[in-house]
Structure 1
Amino acid sequence: MAVHALTAQQINEMIVNKEPFFLFDVRNESDFADWKIEGEHIEYLNVPYFELIDGVEPVLERLPKDKKIVVVCAKEGSSMMVADMLAEKGLEVFYLKGGMKAWSEYLYPVVVYQDNDIKVYQFIRVGKGCLSYMVVSGKEALIVDPSRFIDVYKEVAQKENVAITHIVDSHLHADHISGGYELAKQTGATYYLMKSEGAVFEFEPLENHDRIEFEKVSLEVLAIKTPGHTPGSVSFFVNNKLLFSGDTIFVSGLGRPDLGGKAREWAKDLYDTVYNKVAQIADDVIVLPAHYANFDQEVNEQGYIGNTLGNIRQMNEIMQGKTEEEFVEHVAQSASSETPPNFEDIIAINRGVKDATQEQQQELEIGPNRCAVHHTH
């Protein structure tokens, strides 16, 4: 039987289309437990490849005869080896091209909103749970929370026949490397970031702007400070219709404020954000966060991650009628979970005080997203 390669894009399409398949993950048990390809129609088996070097006979009876089998490893080599051995036993097998490294780096655009003034794309990075955005208006585009894969944004801008003129980061990201500075250098766009985040390269401080306006876009920098998990987290309110909430509000939870070691102190700021600033925003505003925790549970019928603020308030008990003391206690307890892997190095790179080669950036980013405080599920 033949062995076929599947790209991250093809596997993602299978997940989005709810196509059932069998995922045979041959990484170490700890890596599999920490982070894997997720989808509600996937069945799993995890056996480290080194246990299969002498042959795949021990696992044959655990593999289905009637489902697509996809073998996955960290970088591709081990999964190809195991897939070849299974094919020799008469099974039709697929493997993930580029391994989990490729899965970590794959992102794709979805149109989330369109009216006479603006068109908004969400870029979903499935392997990391990271979200970034493009707001197109007239001949210009704004990018929100860009990943380091800046060619993706340039390609969509070219397709839309617009120039990228404004780039904003809602905060110094802890789980992935921002493409904001590099994209600004390549496009000549203005790059905005909070001065309080301590970046050492050239940027335009968001503290100087209540609003950023271009073409038919009016972006309100929400009250300068809406902490998620850094003290300089901000949210962006566009045309009174869309709230780019960074790591402050997710579809299924709130940002975790403990990554600076000041969980209780920053949780008070988060309470003020949720109960005072965000409380003023209408229920029908669409919230578009910088992360998600569970694709199957957070993706909506239109195929993007987002929800109305009214629905999010209803789903999140922590956003309803809590005293500051109750809120801070809940957040402090939830926030004691594991921190994002390598977050100190990633923040240092995003601040501009540390350099990393492309290979080092890949290694630093591999692993799960751990930027949310709690989830309703």
Structure 2
Amino acid sequence: MKALTAAEISKIVMNQERLFILDVRNEADYKDWKIEGKNITSLNKPYFELLDGVEEILPSLPADEKILVVCAKEGSSKFVAEMLEEAGVSEVSYLMGGMKSWSEYLQPVKVYEDENMKVLQFIRVGKGCLSYMVISGEEALVVDPSRFLSVYEQTAKEIGARITHIVDSHLHADHISGGRELAEKTKSEYFLMKSEGAVFDFNGLEDYQEIQFANVHLQVLAVKTPGHTPGSVSFFVNGQLLFSGDTIFVGGLGRPDLGGKVREWAEDLYHTVYNQVAEIADDVIVLPGHYASLDEEKNQSGYIGDTLGNIRSRNDMMNNKEITEFVELVVENAKTSTPPNFEEIVAINRGQLQVDGDKQQELEIGPNRCALHHSH
């Protein structure tokens, strides 16, 4: 019986290979968040219902597909996988580290390269979070880093670059930022909007129109791009790439309701979309902070992003809307469930609350819910 790692499952999902998953977590946890993909089929049967044997579910399992058993941390899935193997099921495996490991794995993908810079995207497949590294010469800048610092440190080391700049596009609500800690470890400059209310030392993005290093001009959009949070910013790099944070997604816009001021922030989002972003050329590549589905991987390179022109053409919220209609649509669409634990996560990212690693892991479990609207 094999143990598969989150990295191996990530490749299966991103390559759209067939896989059958037997998820033995509680029904509520399964309904809230599970491993999904184009050719992934799953069945939920809670572990406690299988303690007396797996015979009753055998007819529900495919005879000709690989079967992966998953649970929260690993132990239950390993036990069930062993029972399946004893019952004669071939090609059965379990997820090493359980759904916790799935939540934390980052898949690096190359987005772009020219004589001035190389850009990598880190896809947190189990969470829908995206972070980035821009390498130029011997320096590197990290955008919206997760708390798994070793991934960025190791990547920079392999490339022969030193992390010198770190930017957070906004105060994240669904995951814990690694920005401040990564800056301390690498002695880098850390940038965030002052209006996000962080209580530790950092460089306020209000004071910068541009951040320069090596051959990179990272333009902090001169008029900020609020909407998802009051201090959301987007970064325009060398006139070619737009790191859009949670303001614009491949399939939607950031939700502006998490601060309890949905109408005010929706108006900000409208002005961002119809004034600032409207001036950016169609061929600019948008690289967002999150994604809702791997269907948003719209290109041969395997990264998640698309040209601004394609995004505009698909997203009716970005076209010919009057402000009143736009705000009403936002209010209606924002009635989906909020990110779990978002108030605690925001407090941690603001520097007002400190928790240990186990608590951080617990707070982050689950899907991202930062998108407001997905176009079809």
For 2:43 and 2:163, locate their aligned partners in 1 and report how far apart those are by CA, in whole Å.
Answer: 44
Matched residue SS, 1:121: strand
In the TM superposition, what whole-angstrom CA distance separates every residue of 1:98-138 from its partner, at most 9, and x where no partner exists? 00000000001111001110100000000000000000001
Is 1:110 the counterpart of 2:97? The answer is: no
- Structure 1: which 5+ residue stretches go unaligned? none
Aligned match of 2:145: 146
Amino acid of the structure 2 residue aligned with 1:202: D
Judge conservation of contact 1:177–1:361 (CA < 8 Å) in 2.
Answer: yes
For 2:283 and 2:298, locate their aligned partners in 1 and report how far apart those are by CA, in whole Å.
Answer: 18
For 1:43 and 1:301, locate their aligned partners in 2 and report how far apart those are by CA, in whole Å.
Answer: 24
Aligned match of 1:263: 262
For 1:65 and 1:9, locate their aligned partners in 2 and report how far apart those are by CA, in whole Å.
Answer: 25
For 2:153 and 2:223, locate their aligned partners in 1 and report how far apart those are by CA, in whole Å.
Answer: 28
Matched residue SS, 1:267: helix
Aligned match of 2:64: 66
Amino acid of the structure 1 residue aligned with 2:13: I
Aligned match of 2:327: 328
Amino acid of the structure 2 residue aligned with 1:41: N
- Structure 2: which 5+ residue stretches go unaligned? none
Q: Quickly say closer, same or farther: Cα 1:131–1:272, change in 2 above 3 A.
A: same
Judge conservation of contact 2:14–2:294 (CA < 8 Å) in 1.
Answer: no
Amino acid of the structure 1 residue aligned with 2:75: G
Aligned counterpart for 2:23 among listed residues 25, 42, 47: 25
Matched residue SS, 2:271: helix
In the TM superposition, what whole-angstrom CA distance separates every residue of 1:239-285 from its partner, at most 9, and x where no partner exists? 01000000000000000000000111000000000000000000000
* TM-score between the two structures when normalised by the length of structure 1: 0.98
Matched residue SS, 1:364: helix
Greater alpha carbon shift after TM alignment, 9-18 vs 160-169: 9-18
Greater alpha carbon shift after TM alignment, 224-233 vs 120-129: 224-233
In the TM superposition, what whole-angstrom CA distance separates every residue of 1:313-337 from its partner, at most 9, and x where no partner exists? 0010110010001111111110111
Judge conservation of contact 2:227–2:272 (CA < 8 Å) in 1.
Answer: no
Aligned match of 2:277: 278
Is 1:206 the counterpart of 2:205? The answer is: yes
Judge conservation of contact 1:225–1:231 (CA < 8 Å) in 2.
Answer: no
For 1:56 and 1:145, locate their aligned partners in 2 and report how far apart those are by CA, in whole Å.
Answer: 44
Aligned match of 1:80: 78
For 2:14 and 2:142, locate their aligned partners in 1 and report how far apart those are by CA, in whole Å.
Answer: 25
Where does 1:1-377 land on structure 2 (aligned, <5 Å)? 3-92=1-90, 93-377=92-376
Matched residue SS, 1:24: strand
Judge conservation of contact 1:157–1:164 (CA < 8 Å) in 2.
Answer: yes
Greater alpha carbon shift after TM alignment, 173-182 vs 87-96: 87-96
For 2:246 and 2:330, locate their aligned partners in 1 and report how far apart those are by CA, in whole Å.
Answer: 14
Judge conservation of contact 1:167–1:189 (CA < 8 Å) in 2.
Answer: yes
In the TM superposition, what whole-angstrom CA distance separates every residue of 1:306-360 from its partner, at most 9, and x where no partner exists? 0000000001011001000111111111011100000000000000000010000
For 2:31 and 2:310, locate their aligned partners in 1 and report how far apart those are by CA, in whole Å.
Answer: 31
- Deviation of 1:223 after TM superposition, in Å, equals 2.7
For 2:147 and 2:223, locate their aligned partners in 1 and report how far apart those are by CA, in whole Å.
Answer: 25
Matched residue SS, 2:173: coil
- Deviation of 1:299 after TM superposition, in Å, equals 4.7
- Deviation of 1:9 after TM superposition, in Å, equals 0.6
Matched residue SS, 1:38: coil
In the TM superposition, what whole-angstrom CA distance separates every residue of 1:130-150 from its partner, at most 9, and x where no partner exists? 000000001111100000001
Matched residue SS, 2:239: coil
For 2:53 and 2:212, locate their aligned partners in 1 and report how far apart those are by CA, in whole Å.
Answer: 63
Judge conservation of contact 1:207–1:224 (CA < 8 Å) in 2.
Answer: no
Judge conservation of contact 2:69–2:80 (CA < 8 Å) in 1.
Answer: yes
* TM-score between the two structures when normalised by the length of structure 2: 0.98
For 1:9 and 1:141, locate their aligned partners in 2 and report how far apart those are by CA, in whole Å.
Answer: 24
- Deviation of 1:30 after TM superposition, in Å, equals 1.0
Q: Percent identity?
A: 67
Judge conservation of contact 1:206–1:224 (CA < 8 Å) in 2.
Answer: no
For 1:72 and 1:179, locate their aligned partners in 2 and report how far apart those are by CA, in whole Å.
Answer: 27
For 1:219 and 1:196, locate their aligned partners in 2 and report how far apart those are by CA, in whole Å.
Answer: 20
Judge conservation of contact 1:248–1:255 (CA < 8 Å) in 2.
Answer: yes
For 1:308 and 1:229, locate their aligned partners in 2 and report how far apart those are by CA, in whole Å.
Answer: 21
Judge conservation of contact 2:223–2:276 (CA < 8 Å) in 1.
Answer: no
In the TM superposition, what whole-angstrom CA distance separates every residue of 1:43-63 from its partner, at most 9, and x where no partner exists? 111111111111111101101
Greater alpha carbon shift after TM alignment, 154-163 vs 295-304: 295-304
For 1:298 and 1:237, locate their aligned partners in 2 and report how far apart those are by CA, in whole Å.
Answer: 21
- Deviation of 1:224 after TM superposition, in Å, equals 4.4
- Deviation of 1:361 after TM superposition, in Å, equals 0.2
For 1:52 and 1:165, locate their aligned partners in 2 and report how far apart those are by CA, in whole Å.
Answer: 52
Alignment root-mean-square deviation, CA = 0.8
